[in-house]
Amino acid sequence: MPKAKPAIRAGAARLRWVAICGALAWVALTGRLVQVQVYQHDEYSVLTREQYQRRVELKASRGRVLDRRGHDLAVDVAATSVFAYPDQVAEPGRVAARFAALGPGRDAQVARQLRGGKPFVYLARQVSDADLARIGKLDFAGVFKHAETRRQYPLGPLAGQFIGHTNIDNRGSEGIEGAFDKMLRERDGLLLGYVDALGKRVPGRQQQREEPQHGRSLVLTIDALYQGILEEELQRAIDRSQAEGALGVILDPRSGAVLAMANLPLFDPNSAANAAPELRRNRTITDAYEPGSTFKVIAAAAVLEEGLARLEDRVFCEQGELELANGEIIRDTESYGDLLFAQVMEKSSNIGLIKFARRLERPQFYEYIRRFGFATRTGIDLPAENSGLLQSADQWSERSLETIAIGQEIGVTALQLALAYGAVANGGKLMAPRIAAGTVDADGRFEQRGGPQVVRRVLGRRVAAQLGQVLAGVVARGTGQRAQIEGVAVAGKTGTAQRALADGSGYDPEASIASFAGFLPVENPQFVCVVMVENPRLDAWGGQIAAPAFKRVMERILHLPGGLLFERATQPLAGAEQAVPDLRGMSRAVARFQGEMRGMPVAFMGTGHVVVEQTPRPGTAGRGGRIECVLGPRVVAAGWDVRRVHLAGRPLGAGAKGI
């Protein structure tokens, strides 16, 4: 019996240890339950949902941008992005080597990214299917792909500065893309479903679906045909005059609708990241320049409207030299004696115009300038618009009234000048510029956006009609004769302005801006067009280079189907062959578009991004209307002037030179 006590004591001890261990296990289990149910509830709820739920992103598309005929100017296309978790990549050298196909140095760039210490990196964003095929299979640990969309501009550089571009996240930047980003922007949707342990969908479990919100498409007032013609003819003017650049605006004076807005050198929004900032700028609204003699129409309008002169009035033009109050000498290009009011405009006499303008009071003239829309923004729906430059009348010097009257001491934009001429053309009403015709929703329903808006009446109809006849005389008999179009009455004014020196100490004798502003037909104006050629080295006068460019632009537009001269042109030219356009340097899509707008099919051969050769040669008669193009690498092709790609970058400024 005594031996039984130690055994009992040992059993009791074991029981106590069991009880203690059980209690500890219970405490641990309870603590774990509290941890899971209370402190880590949200974390494990997420893990549970991820295990039994499947989230599928439903991609939405950014709204398209179309011209008024329905041509696509900006669209979304499918793309693929490649990303990696560098700490999971076991073979960074092999991964980097695959990306060498995307261009020189890309493999080294990817290698640096993988060694950079970041937990997540994009190796390539928005890669096209063709580039993805060049990369090849990416079956490496830690490297993944996902679908995205990227913005594409099918017509390449056509209206590039006007349309703008998007950033890498498909958000609008500059131009139309930036101004209408909220309307064009998309919002991706989401599909949420449930699956079992094998990944199969669980029947009967409700799925949640958030529909993707596609951006609304925008229909512009811009006409891609007109835009292409304007850009081609501006480039021709640059080539002929060895100029640095050119600007152009075409609008409908009746509605204020902007039909074309061109900046050369061109800018391709498909390669926005590689373009210099000055090349992306829409200089027709961002840059102000002294307009020279194209501004004389404002002083003439003020004098006529105030009844201070009549068309039959004469003025003595001092045989070509006039001394101002400060001793400065104003000269005409020729020596003139007595001239009628209309002849002053036709011959672009600085002295004659100054003498008529002196009949105005300074505040009176200042008010007319402002009424025509100068020194204030036009309100166009585009970013970074310049209001122009004009001092208030109480800050004018003794010579300011005279020099402003001939287009000095004032800065205007090309759009402001076009709208001012539009007011003369339409009978005296300043119109607000329109660039958006309407929107289209995801179901294809069109909704008109606003309509023509009159800002104010600046002239009476009688005076506007008189000015129209005076400007028609400038083209018929005066400095604008090279703007004449057979069968159509054209009204307009030439201008040549010097550019200011960088230090503001005067004008650069080697730099000028040649311009022409006009409208047609005079009896019922449908088009206003302003052409400006920057720093031409040959034919540096507005009447020599800008007026012929205006003529070619308008003549080609009037000969398009439905144009004023279409039927007249097609009857005598039946069966005749058209001149072949210059497609060299253009992408496949743009070359095809340019050919189709002339009724000429375009065939391609070779590989590459741009047209490097073509048959027949530009300017010759087409062989059955067909153009055969050879594609090559994206380089400056033969005959494709380097100024189309690179911009000298000098700001616009000026002083008046006479005509």
Instruction: Calculate mean pLDDT across residues 626-638.
Output: 70
- What single DSSP character describes residue 504? S
Average the pLDDT over each of 210-219, 460-469, 484-493, 639-648 and give the range with the smallest value. Answer: 639-648
Question: Given this model, what pLDDT does residue 200 score?
Answer: 59
**CA nearest neighbour of 263 among 414, 444, 400, 86:** 414
Least confident of 184-198, 457-471, 523-537, 593-607: 184-198
Which pair of structure tokens corresponds to residue 152?
Answer: 């594409």
| Cis peptide bond prior to 265, omega within 30° of 0 | yes
> CA nearest 141: which of 99, 100, 84, 96?
84
Q: Which residues contact 441 (CB under 8 A, 6 or more apart)?
A: 216, 217, 447
Question: What does pLDDT average to over the chain?
Answer: 85
What order of strands is seen across the sheet that includes strand 245-251? 258-264, 245-251, 527-534, 507-520, 491-500, 655-656
Tell me how far CA of residue 129 lies from CA of 77, 136, 148, 150, 562, in angstroms: 10, 11, 12, 12, 40
Q: Is 163 exposed, middle or buried (0-12, 13-18, 19+ CB in 10 A)?
A: buried
| Token code pair at residue 211 | 């529909």
* Number of CB atoms found within 10 A of residue 7's CB: 9
pLDDT of residue 621: 61
Question: Average pLDDT for residues 304-322, to the nearest whole number?
Answer: 94
Given this model, what pLDDT does residue 574 score?
A: 34
Phi, psi of 141 (to 5 degrees): -60, 135
* pLDDT score recorded for residue 269: 94
pLDDT given for residue 650 in this prediction: 34
Q: Give how far Cα 287 sits from Cα of 227, 398, 549, Å.
A: 20, 27, 21
Would the CA dihedral through 365, 367, 372, 377 be positive or negative? Answer: positive
Query: What percentage of the chain exceeds 90 in pLDDT?
Result: 52
- Please determine, for residue 35, whether its predicted confidence score (pLDDT) is greater than 50: yes
In whole angstroms, give the CA distance from residue 446 to residue 208: 31
Q: Helix or strand or coil: residue 572?
A: coil
Average pLDDT, stretch 106-132? 85
pLDDT in tens, 478-505: 999 999 999 999 999 999 988 776 666 6
Given a cut of 50, is residue 445 above it in pLDDT?
yes
Model-level pTM? 0.80
Residue 208 to residues 12, 60, 214: CA-CA distances in angstroms? 60, 17, 19
Among 595, 647, 654, smallest CA distance to 282 is for 647
Name the pLDDT band for 608 (thresholds 50, 70, 90).
confident
Contacting residues for 169 by C-beta, under 8 A, at least 6 apart: none
Name the one residue in this structure whose structure tokens are 């050629």. Answer: 533
Backbone angles phi, psi at 291, to 5 degrees: -80, -15
What span, in angstroms and rounded, lies between the C-alpha atoms of 411 and 407?
A: 9
How far is the C-alpha of 128 from the C-alpha of 120, rounded, in Å? 22
Can you list the domains of the chain with their CATH numbers?
57-220 (3.90.1310.10), 224-266+283-567+652-656 (3.40.710.10), 588-638 (no CATH)
Length of the chain: 659
Instruction: Answer yes or no: are the C-beta atoms of 421 and 295 closer than 8 Å.
Output: no
Q: Please state, as a whole number, how many other Cβ atoms lie within 10 Å of the Cβ of residue 100.
A: 15
The residues, any chain, with a CB within 8 Å of residue 543's CB and separated by 6 or more, are 479, 480, 481, 482, 494, 516, 659
> Between the ranges 149-158, 166-175, 513-522, 623-632, where is the mean pLDDT highest?
513-522
The span from the CA of 441 to the CA of 445, in Å, is 6
Q: Which residue has the higher pLDDT, 221 or 13?
A: 221
Q: Which residue has the tokens 């070779």?
A: 606
Percentage of the chain lying above the pLDDT 70 cut: 85
- Each residue of 228-247: pLDDT tens digit? 999 999 999 999 999 999 99
**Residue 569 clears pLDDT 80, i.e. is over it:** no
* The two three-digit tokens of residue 6, written as one number: 């130690």
Residues 318, 316: Cα–Cα separation, whole Å: 6
Arithmetic mean of pLDDT, 425-433 = 98
CA distance 143 to 124: 11
Asked whether the predicted pLDDT for residue 642 surpasses 50, the reply is no
pLDDT tens readout for residues 191-214: 666 666 555 555 655 566 677 788
Residue 306: is its pLDDT beyond 60?
A: yes
Tokens of 555: 């003549």
Q: What is the pLDDT of residue 505?
A: 63
The reported pLDDT for the residue numbered 577 is 43
Instruction: Look at residues 329, 293, 655 and name the one whose alpha carbon lies nearest to residue 501.
Output: 655
SS3 529: strand
Q: Which residues pair with 518 in a beta bridge?
A: 492, 529
212-221, 451-460, 559-568, 594-603 — most confident range:
451-460
Does pLDDT of 137 surpass 50? yes
What mean pLDDT do residues 623-647 have? 55
Q: What is the pLDDT of residues 151-167, one digit of tens each?
A: 999 998 999 999 999 99
Cα–Cα separations (whole angstroms), residue 569 to 564, 576, 621: 10, 11, 16
Per-residue tokens: 633:
């690498």
Q: Which residue has the higher pLDDT, 327 or 513?
A: 513
Residue 489, CA atoms < 13 Å, CB-side half-sphere:
12
530 has pLDDT over 90: yes
Of the listed ranges 94-98, 130-134, 222-226, 344-348, the one predicted with least confidence: 130-134
Q: Is 203 exposed, middle or buried (0-12, 13-18, 19+ CB in 10 A)?
A: exposed
Question: Which residues, 6 or more positions from 513, have their beta carbon under 8 angstroms from its beta carbon?
Answer: 289, 290, 292, 495, 496, 497, 498, 499, 532, 533, 534, 535, 652, 654
Phi/psi of residue 600, each to 5°?
-115, 115
Dig out the tokens for 515 from the structure.
Answer: 């311009």
pLDDT recorded at residue 343:
96
| Banded model confidence at residue 643, pLDDT cuts 50, 70, 90 | very low
Q: Give kind and range of the element (H or E) at residue 239.
A: helix 224-241
Task: Give yes or no for residue 425 having a pLDDT over 90.
Answer: yes
